[in-house]
Amino acid sequence: MLTFYHSAQSCSNGILLLLHEVGAVFETKIVDVRAGDQRGATYLALNPKGKVPALGLEDGSTLTEFPAIALWLVETYPQVGLAPTGTIERARVLEALDFIVSSVHMRGFTFDKVPQKFMSDADGQATLRAHGRAEVAKGLTGLSAMLGDKPYILGDFSAADAALFYVLDWAEQDRGYDIPANLQACLARIKQRPAHAAAAPLLTR
């Protein structure tokens, strides 16, 4: 059985959604990042990076990093129909995942929400927070263009939409971001999927 290491309201929400999408059999172990569980010896033995999400595989190894876990899931459960069907399709999934996780999340939300990790003085934190918010806003504009009039980021639901879900959910909860209408509709569409209903109890603290 798979073991999923999860912290509610973190990016691992997207992997939780995807685990339910592919119908994986798994157990969830909560990693309370606010309490610092990710820095404890027990968790660091599993994932020396000290981050969530992490996925314990049946062979005893641990898979980390959102794009890697997401792609592994859809390709391990091909019968669900979420796996890329060719080289360019796989590249497009990775392209979208990288933009969402590396740019919108890491260069945007991280600087906006936890600038104290990078700056100790109040002025520096304010500057970094403003930079982060600008990066998120730019990212939402880019994602809106990528989505266009399609139901999901690449047309059909894919691993990229699991990442899109968590950043849009963060933006919605913030209430300070202008979320384009097509992204709002996409988020609502994702929240109507059965996998979201299954994941819902563990999406929030």
Give one DSSP letter per residue of 109-155, joined into a string.
IHHHH-GGGT--SHHHHHHHHHHHHHHHHHHHHHHHHHHTTSSBTBB
Predicted confidence (pLDDT) at residue 205 exceeds the cutoff of 90: no
Domains of the chain: 2-81+196-202 (3.40.30.10), 87-193 (1.20.1050.10)
Kindly report the pTM of this predicted structure.
Answer: 0.96
* Percent of the chain at pLDDT exceeding 90: 98
pLDDT in tens, 104-118: 999 999 999 999 999
pLDDT in tens, 87-99: 999 999 999 999 9
DSSP 3-state of 91: helix
